[in-house]
Amino acid sequence: MRLSTVWRIFIGLLLVLLSTPWARGFYFDAGLRWQYIFALAFLTAYFIMPACIWIASRLGILDRPDWRKIHERPTPLLGGLGIYAAFCSALLMNGVFLQGMKALLAGATMILVMGLLDDVRPIPAPLKFVVQILITLYVVIWGDIHLTFFYNRTWAPFFNLPVTVIWIVGLTNALNFFDGVDGLAASISTVCGLFLGLIAFKTHQPALGWFAVALVGSCLGFFPYNFRIGESALLFLGDAGSTFLGFTLAGLAVMGRWSNTSHFVSLSAPILIFGVLIFDMIYVNLSRIRNGQAKGLLELLSCVNKDHLHHRLIFMGFAKKETVFIISTLSVCLGVSALIIMDQQFIQAVLGLFQAVIIIGLIVALMLKGRDRTPPGGDRRALKRRHEDRLDLPAS
């Protein structure tokens, strides 16, 4: 019997053991609920990923290489489905659902389904964008979750609602666009979920903490199949996985109050945690408008190119794994900044934000340096030639 088969049998037995009422009661009574949720999500994701690979291969749901992609061979795309199954399993076994959590999970499920359809047969970007807005509105209205920049003003909802929609839809697409290197989207999702969970527990919001822990465990269970030292990924998240993770994390950030001392800090902490994604999205879109690659929202939605942070690091000569490490480290530094400011007053929080600005400055320097290495003007034909040369393919 192969070692991998024995290992999978062992993982399966652990899952069966954890699913028993005895094991569940033991962890809960000992005050170790978050460890139980994490272990269940991680083991479930790790156990079912081979099935996702098999199904995607049989159905031909593959991500095939082209000029704007970095991988070199067709790769199965149903990793997001495995993460979703593990995440939901952990939440169901925990059995705690706030109203906002139910609405968010329902919306994330709809986002996942649309992503699966897009993985099978691409959906026009403007249509996806409109559907994402409608799903977000559904979640915000049903779950009554929204950003609160202003209180006790008759006009406040007319400001808070659109900003919430922009936040959720923006981060959903930001993580989707960031899914360009093996392990990158999963590692960024893990870092964001980890810091949201830590702050949730520190601010006495255990339900949100358990929600975040389930997501972190699911991502880490997927990670060994997507981030393999010296080898290519066996499985990708696909649009289903990246948009599901982005939507869920963005919604979780909206649900919580991330500081007990200052409303300003409560709003600032998620911005820091998602700082790399936010900056990359803003910088790339402004750059495309400035360079004439897109002249309006519809063109921005359809515009694709190798101009994100991870692309620029690779053009600078960093290996794919090094790129993931650099970006994840930057994200961790911003997450630590969020932890530092969460219990501070306004002035101390501003100083913490200044530290984050320095980190953002480093990212700007990397983006500008990477731009110098990018083919002039982001020319797609030049990028395509570079892709063919790197793979030693005949030019088309």
pTM: 0.88
**pLDDT number for residue 392:** 43
**pLDDT number for residue 143:** 84
Report the C-alpha gap between 131 and 185 in whole angstroms.
Answer: 22
Does 56 fall in a domain?
A: yes
Does 90 fall in a domain?
A: yes
Does 93 fall in a domain?
A: yes
Q: Which domain holds residue 17?
A: 1-31
> Closest Cα to residue 356, out of 377, 340, 369?
340
Does 298 fall in a domain?
A: yes
SS3 of 30, please?
Answer: coil
11 and 136 belong to one structural domain: no
Does 323 fall in a domain?
A: yes
161 and 252 belong to one structural domain: yes
**pLDDT number for residue 67:** 55
> Closest Cα to residue 135, out of 52, 246, 236, 235?
246
Report the C-alpha gap between 289 and 291 in whole angstroms.
Answer: 5
Burial 92-121 (b: 16+ CB within 10 A, else e): ebbeeeeebbebbbebbbbbbebbbebbbe
109 and 22 belong to one structural domain: no
Task: Tell the residue number behind the tokens 């939507």, with chain if given.
Answer: 247
**pLDDT number for residue 387:** 45
125 and 2 belong to one structural domain: no
Give the pair of three-digit tokens for residue 57.
Answer: 């291969």
267 and 190 belong to one structural domain: yes
18 and 38 belong to one structural domain: no
151 and 11 belong to one structural domain: no
Does 396 fall in a domain?
A: no
Give the pair of three-digit tokens for residue 27.
Answer: 């962890």
Does 133 fall in a domain?
A: yes
> 266 CB contacts (<8 Å, ≥6 apart)?
257, 258, 259
Among left, alpha and beta (phi > 0; psi -120 to 50; other), residue 243 is alpha
Cβ burial of 243 (10 Å; 0-12, 13-18, 19+) is buried
Domain count along the chain: 2
147 and 8 belong to one structural domain: no
**pLDDT number for residue 22:** 92
158 and 192 belong to one structural domain: yes
Does 292 fall in a domain?
A: yes
136 and 177 belong to one structural domain: yes
**pLDDT number for residue 1:** 47
pLDDT, tens digit, for every residue of 277-294? 998 888 888 888 887 777
pLDDT tens string, the chain, 396 residues long: the values are 465 778 888 888 999 999 899 999 999 999 899 999 999 999 999 999 999 999 999 998 988 876 556 656 788 989 999 999 999 999 999 988 888 899 999 999 999 999 999 999 989 988 999 999 999 999 999 888 887 776 666 666 778 889 999 999 999 999 998 888 889 999 999 999 999 999 999 999 999 999 999 999 999 999 999 998 888 889 999 999 999 999 999 999 999 888 777 777 788 889 999 999 998 888 888 888 887 777 777 677 777 777 788 888 888 888 888 999 999 999 998 998 888 887 766 676 777 777 777 877 877 777 676 665 555 444 444 444 444 444 443 333
SS3 of 144, please?
Answer: coil
Give the pair of three-digit tokens for residue 76.
Answer: 């199965």
**pLDDT number for residue 261:** 74
23 and 43 belong to one structural domain: no
Q: Are the beta carbons of 140 and 164 closer than 8 angstroms?
A: yes
20 and 138 belong to one structural domain: no
